[in-house]
Amino acid sequence: MNVTLKILRYNPEKDEKGHYETYSVEAEPTDRLLDLLEEIKGHQDGTLTFRRSCAHGVCGSDAMRINGSNKLACQVLIKNVGAKITIEPLLGLKVVKDLIVDMEPFFDNYKKVLPHLINESALPADGKERIQSQKERARFDDTTKCIMCAACTTSCPSFWGNDDFLGPAALVSAHRFVFDSRDEGASERLEVLSETFGVARCHTAFNCTSACPRDIKITQAIGELKMAMVTGKLD
Amino acid sequence: MDNVHQFEVIVVGAGGAGLMAGLYASKIAKTAVISKLYPTRSHTGAAQGGISAALGNYEEDNPDWHVYDTVKGSDYLGDQDAIEFMCHEAIQAVYELEHMGLPFDRTPEGRIAQRPFGGHTNNKTGKAVRRACHAADRTGHMILQTLYQQCLKNKVNFYDEFQVLDILIEDGKTVGVVGVELATGELHTFHAKSVIIATGGHGRVWEITSNAYAYTGDGAAIVSRHGIPLEDMEFFQFHPTGIYKMGILITEGVRGEGGVLLNNEGTRFMETYAPTVKDLASRDVVSRAMYLEMRAGRGIDGNRYCYLDVTPATVNKYAEIDGRTNPDGSPYVVTGEQILSKIPDIVDFSRTYLGVDPITQPMPVQPTAHYAMGGIPTNKSGEVVIDDKNTVFPGLFAAGEAACVSVHGANRLGTNSLLDIVVFGKHAGIRAAEFAQGADYVALPADPTDFSRQQVDRLKNGSGKENAFDIGKEMKAVMFDEVGVYRTEEGIQKAVEKLTELQERFKGVKVQDTGKIFNTELLNTWELGNLLDMAEITAAAALNRKESRGGHARDDYPERDDKNWLKHSLAWKKDGKIKLGYKPVVLTKFKPKKRVY
Ligand SMILES: Cc1cc2nc3c(=O)[nH]c(=O)nc-3n(C[C@H](O)[C@H](O)[C@H](O)COP(=O)(O)OP(=O)(O)OC[C@H]3O[C@@H](n4cnc5c(N)ncnc54)[C@H](O)[C@@H]3O)c2cc1C
Ligand code: FES
């Protein structure tokens, strides 16, 4: 089938502002959108610029706006988006070139939530693993799946509007540790969240949850963090 | 000079191996990690099934069994001293990951959960043993995340989205590396005493592959351009279960959970090829079996794929036939829900890319290019060794899939790569830092970025008669057809000639993008040059090795030939020609014998 892609282009070395360019590509319905971008880059326009690596939705490189919603280009099959596709860079982060946005502020927010296990207690004397029940492990399973593609954070109206809001992805990472039974840093982390308006700015628009390519229940996770801040309890 | 940085240790690559090296080196020496991808985008994150260690959390296991299984899996080409070292370090390495916070799945007692994997056995009974420690089917993702988090916590220096183009060597000593900052296009010189190459593999040489776009053999190609040999490059692993046509990996863990391979007659054909462990035989064995089935016309609908069936009905049927039991002795029976909880990502991949729900339907699969057993030769400490006498190259280290220690020999066992990157990443980091502490900086050359600029200029100033994308496509096709699961003299020869032609045509490539900021076209084209080198060296080494061993299966020399070929190959690329040499395999406890599963 023939597919028309309308892509928002911007090259800071040449363009004052962004403009759309249109490409036409022959494709199989089962092709990934990423395959088509590669085809365009390979045969029509080498200057088209985007990030990608794994090509199957696990590395988080190629989040972009596809027909208006945030998705990974490698996870979108042509048969599911039709023959006319509009592609734009993520919103809320500075566009560096074409579909590449500046990820630094995003990763900076991630770093703020102390994303590492905090546990100063002695390790088991036999040197083996800490014991964690299956139920305790299941408690935070969902938020371990995050690949930091930024699809959620850049779909969030509160993030677009506020420089001091950490955004859903950072909160997902906070959740992953706060609810890990082995972690002892919950209060430190929750403090960061209250100082940075971490959770308060979330108005449960649910955009993040529908944008997540890993189907993480983000709004729920943020809700659980809010609850923990209010009650001081983790369950 | 602008853009010059000085670190005692430079690590190139931020996957599992690079992060582990960075973490350990920075405890001792001033260290930086350079990566062309954001660290969390590294391919380690794609690893699914697990990391091996004989913890024995469900049943009796023993590191010595792990050693033997790895030696046997390697078809006796692995160096047994290095294998012993790795398998014994494994236990502490996995506990260390847990202590760092890695969220492993748990046993009912709250210990690290383990699953069966290809080639992992109880050496007394020959039966499969649960040795693969897992976090659902995203073990690699968890390892990558955990190590990155530890690096952040320990304030390791990172240069993210910097792509290394060259290593600096003066008078046989390591001086540093040169890389381009993607965001600006500027070249940066990193002056160092020790350099650790941890750039991963080169599976993008083949058409059907489980590997990321970034898997272009950069590190191996870079050092090879400086006269350093590559080891055992003819050995590349084809994983039996890639998604048909796309190559996306379906972990062996699916068979570990009870999934079976079926041909068009609905027969579980692995029974014929590996009567004891059946679907959990080593990967090379299973991939070849699938090819033989397809050749005999038993692919599904006459096509080049088989079915991988993990629907509860099928799993339970064969579990009963095999007499498989749970740890408590009760019969092994699964529900769809349990399958989903064990392999959630696989279920997702299958639904997304195949439109197939694996809980109710079988998945079409074919062998997919997966893992580089060969690479930059090193010893157990990660030091690069450059000849048959294992002479150490001062200041140069390698770890992970880019390296060849060699613990995988002719065929890697599933879960041994995640183990390899953690164990040897750590030791390379320690050794590199120790070396740096006892060494002085060697002065930088007058124009350190000279060769990097030359490489880039060539791509900008070609005639433009040739298209890089097409050259890449032709390379992938000929490598998959002729230097794939099965190989013949005639076929490899054809590939060699084709690659010579493609190398010539590559000179006529010219990139369109003349900008500096994120010129990914330029860098992708440079990577294609690396892939062509990897392909050429692989084909030359494959043509040379006249036997079948592990991942290298020759139709015209179907048997392993220990008399003539129980040796590693070394390949040097110089002036466009490939020279081959050898080095002995280290045998300690295990004498080569026939490999039966
Ligand atoms: C789909 C899949 C599933 C797998 N499952 C398993 C499993 O279950 N168990 C197991 O043991 N193994 C598994 N493997 C294999 C294993 O994951 C890899 O071999 C291993 O993760 C490689 O780690 P690494 O650190 O060597 O490389 P990577 O993690 O790939 O890291 C390479 C790094 O080098 C950087 N880099 C590359 N070139 C340059 C350059 N020119 N300049 C700067 N930086 C550069 C990249 O940015 C990246 O950070 C799997 C592999 C795949 C593809
Ligand atoms: S390329 Fe890795 S998520 Fe799409």
Domain shared by A128 and A189, yes or no: yes
Region of poorest pLDDT, from A33-37, A231-235, B164-168, B391-395 = A231-235
Over residues B64-80, mean pLDDT: 98
Cβ separation B517–A145 shorter than 8 A: no
A67 with A130, same domain: the answer is: no
The answer on pLDDT for B424 being more than 70 is: yes
The pLDDT, as a whole number, for residue B62 is 97
Least confident range of A69-78, A225-234, B3-12, B46-55: A225-234
Using the 3D structure, point to which of A101, A130, A160 is the last residue of a domain: A101
The DSSP code for B181 is: E
What are B231's two structure tokens? 């080891």
Short-list B19, B11, B48, CA closest to A116: B19
Q: Are residues A184 and A147 in the same domain?
A: yes
Asked if residue B168 lies in contact with residue B448, where contact means CB atoms within 8 angstroms, the answer is: yes
| Structure tokens given for B79 | 């160096």
Asked if A76 and A143 sit in the same domain, the reply is no
The answer on A53 and A37 residing in a single domain is: yes
pLDDT in tens, B536-560: 999 999 999 999 999 999 999 999 9
Q: How many residues does chain B have?
A: 597
CA dist B124 and B233 (Å) reads 34
Q: Domain boundary at A76, A101, A126, which?
A: A101
> What residue segments make up the domains of chain B, in order of their start?
242-369, 450-559
DSSP-derived letter for residue A129 is: P
Ligand closest to Cα of B49 equals 1
3-state secondary structure of B434: helix
For the stretch B438-480, pLDDT in tens is 999 999 999 999 999 999 999 999 999 999 999 999 999 999 9
DSSP calls for B198-224 = -----GGGSSSBSS-TT-S-HHHHHHH
Do A124 and A135 share a domain, yes or no?
yes
Binary contact (B352, A75; C-beta < 8 A):
yes
Q: Which of B41, B283, B431, B487 is catalytic?
A: B283
Indicate whether A26 and A39 sit together in one domain.
yes
Range of the domain at A190: 104-231
pLDDT average, residue stretch A14-34: 96
Give the model confidence (pLDDT) of B552-582 as tens digits.
Answer: 999 999 999 999 999 999 999 998 899 999 9
- Model pLDDT, residue B405: 98
B468 and B505 in contact (C-beta within 8 Å)? no
**Pocket, ligand 1, Cβ cutoff 6 A:** B 12-18, 34-37, 39, 42-44, 46-51, 139-140, 163-164, 198-200, 210-211, 214, 218, 249, 251, 371, 400-402, 414-418, 421
Q: Note the pLDDT of residue A161.
A: 83
Predicted local confidence at residue A197, as pLDDT? 64
Answer yes or no: do A148 and A167 share one domain: yes
Give the span between the Cα atoms of B20 and B33, in whole angstroms: 10
Do the chains contact at B98 and A148, CB–CB below 8 Å?
A: no
Tell me the β-bridge partners of A174.
none
Query: Distance (Å, rounded) from C-alpha B432 to C-alpha B27?
Result: 12
Q: Which residue has the tokens 């930086």?
A: B32
**Domain shared by A118 and A219, yes or no:** yes
Is ipTM > 0.90 here? yes
Domain B242-369 part of CATH 3.30.1740.10: no
Helices (H), chain A: 33-39, 78-81, 104-112, 134-139, 157-161, 168-178, 186-195, 207-211, 218-231
> In the CATH scheme, what architecture does the domain B450-559 have?
Up-down Bundle (1.20)
B155 in reach of chain A (CB within 8 A): no
Please, what's the b/e burial string for B330-364 (b: 16 or more CB within 10 A of its CB; e: otherwise)?
Answer: eebebebeebeebbbbbbbbbebbbebebbeebbb
The answer to whether the CB atoms of A43 and B468 lie below 8 A apart is no
In the predicted structure, residue A51 carries a pLDDT above the cut 70: yes
pLDDT band at B391; cut points 50, 70, 90 = very high
* Structure confidence by residue, pLDDT tens digits, B101-117: 999 999 999 999 999 98
- Are both A53 and A80 inside the same structural domain? yes
Q: Return the top range by mean pLDDT from A161-175, B117-131, B317-331, B397-411.
A: B397-411
How far apart (Å, rounded) are the C-alpha atoms in residues B533 and B523? 16
Report residue B253's pLDDT band, with 50, 70 and 90 as the boundaries. confident
The domain that holds A63 is classified in CATH as: 3.10.20.30
Same domain, A45 and A144: no
Average confidence (pLDDT) over A50-76 = 97
In the predicted model, is pLDDT for residue B2 greater than 90?
no
Quick one: tokens of B514? 């003349």
Report the alpha-carbon distance of residue A22 to residue A35 in Å, rounded: 16
Q: What is the number of structural domains in chain A?
A: 2
User: Same structural domain for residues A130 and A78?
Assistant: no
Please indicate if any CB of chain A lies within 8 Å of the CB of B95: yes
Give the chain A residue nearest B212 (alpha carbons): A54
* CATH number for the domain harbouring residue A117: 1.10.1060.10
Return the SS3 of A186: helix
Assess whether pLDDT exceeds 80 at residue A205.
Answer: no
A200-214, B89-103, B269-283: least confidently modelled range = A200-214
